[in-house]
A and B are shown apart, each in its own frame.
Chain A
Amino acid sequence: MPTRIDAAGEPIAFTFDGVRVEARAGDSLAAALLAAGIDTTRRSAVSGMARGPYCMMGTCFECLVVVDGVPNRQACMVEAADGLVVTTQDGAVDAFAHEDGGREMLA
């Protein structure tokens, strides 16, 4: 389990799936989540299996989360900020989520 080696920095907090997560200013979301003991951030769009932060540098796309309603954000590339609402990226996005009537056209 990763542990925080430097607890300096201004304390901030966001929520992950409704649970309050304490972080430090300058943390990435992925770093803050791992420091809080949370290592599952998404479910695979193909298999549904649990996935979590891996490369921590924006390459592997394993740490995807929903941030303030925006899906598929890379948790390792988003800086933690007070009050962010972060949730698990549960599988694939709906391509028509923003389209008025898009869903009806599929029926």
Chain B
Amino acid sequence: MTDTIVVGGGLVGAAVAYGLARAGDTVTVLDEGDVAFRASRGNFGLVWVQSKGDGRPEYTRWTRRSADLWPEFTAELRDLTGIETHYSKPGGLHFALSEEEMDARKSLIHRMHNVHGAAEYGAEILDGDEVRKLVPGLGPDVVGGTYCKHDGHASPLYLLRALHEGILAHGGRIVGDARATEVAPDGAGFRAETAAGTFRGDRLVLAAGLGNRALGPGVGLTVPVAPQKGQILVTERAAMAFEMPTHVVRQTSEGTFMIGDSHEDVGFNLTSTTPTMAAIAARAVKMFPFLKDLRIVRSWGALRVMAPDGYPIYEESRDHPGAFTVNCHSGVTLAAAHALALAPMLAAGRLGAELDVFNAGRFDADAH
């Protein structure tokens, strides 16, 4: 049996740890605790396929693989832990508010179809009348949009809770308040120095989000991830009006509307800011005028974990085999792939060839 240390108890670390424990590894998850940036708690909750991977078809396929695994993934978690992730897969909509946006969107979908085939990619271009048949309450400024049947949404918080319970159910261990300060090779395995003591394992998985950047070099890994802020607004609960998620607004299973699609490069800054919140609200109200009458009850900022090109980084250390790093900004979308496809590779001690393109070596100009 392999002893594996997973640094990071967010959605990425928890999904990987769950998959490893399920595959029979003895897993120890080291979680930083409430002082962490905790992107998983700030996540919007989309399981999103459309528009992912323009220029990187492997990312489209990996994302689609996760979306395809989600139904069995959520059922497995429910059966094991009794916790519902509130996943549903009614397909998702992306709207255009001008003909220019619509043309850009059409070009994107056509490019994706050229690479993957229309049937395989599964996104459709819809005019204004067609999108209005799919969701109620759209404003007159919406000129059209795109629909993808593979899209869905889930509760990031229930998902995280289910994964943690699932890790424990499979005999894993989760150590809280254990911020890792250093990782290093240790004999035939690895060790992690943390606020909660020193931990040793045969293998090491760095899934510490933005923390991977500082930890990676300890085991010969370069992990160039940087923060990108997103802000979210949440309304009061309303009677269920639509099940279908959209790229900026979705109604949660409890009835609140989550609103947000901002991208700001402002470093390690979690502040909610009035201009951005106002811009998010104005755009959302343009799409769905009825939102103007709902009260905002919460808002927050969170940090996406972004590689320079926006794609995941999956890599095993060349200098220290057995040390891996896992990074992405789509912790909900990719959770199923991380648990059911990536973790079995890690348990076997080797990343699959389909993940070769996600090696961080792609950022090294001299390597190509």
State the A residues within 8 Å of B (CB): 45-46, 61, 71-72, 91-99, 102, 105-106
Contact = CB atoms under 8 A, between A and B. Distances in A.
Nearest to A44: B237
Contact of B237 (A45, A98, A99, A102): A45
Contacts of A95: 137, 238-239, 241, 257, 290-291, 293-294
B289 interface: yes
Nearest to B288: A95
B137 A93 contact: no
Contacts of B255: 45-46, 92
Interface of B: 132, 136-137, 236-241, 254-255, 257, 289-291, 293-295, 297
Contacts of B289: 99
B136 A96 contact: yes
A72 B236 contact: yes
A61 B297 contact: yes
A102 B137 contact: yes
B136 A92 contact: no
A99 B290 contact: yes
B137 to A, nearest CB: 5
Given A46-B254, A99-B289, A102-B290, A94 B239 contact: yes
A94 B132 contact: no
Given A45-B254, A105-B136, 20 more contacts: A45-B237, A46-B237, A46-B255, A71-B236, A72-B236, A92-B238, A92-B240, A93-B236, A93-B238, A94-B238, A94-B239, A95-B238, A95-B239, A95-B290, A96-B290, A99-B289, A99-B293, A102-B136, A102-B137, A105-B132
A105 B293 contact: no
Contacts of A45: 237, 239, 254-255
Given A46-B254, A99-B289, A105 B238 contact: no
Interface centre among A93, A94, A95 (most CB of B within 10 A): A95
A93 B253 CA distance: 14
A94 B237 CA distance: 9
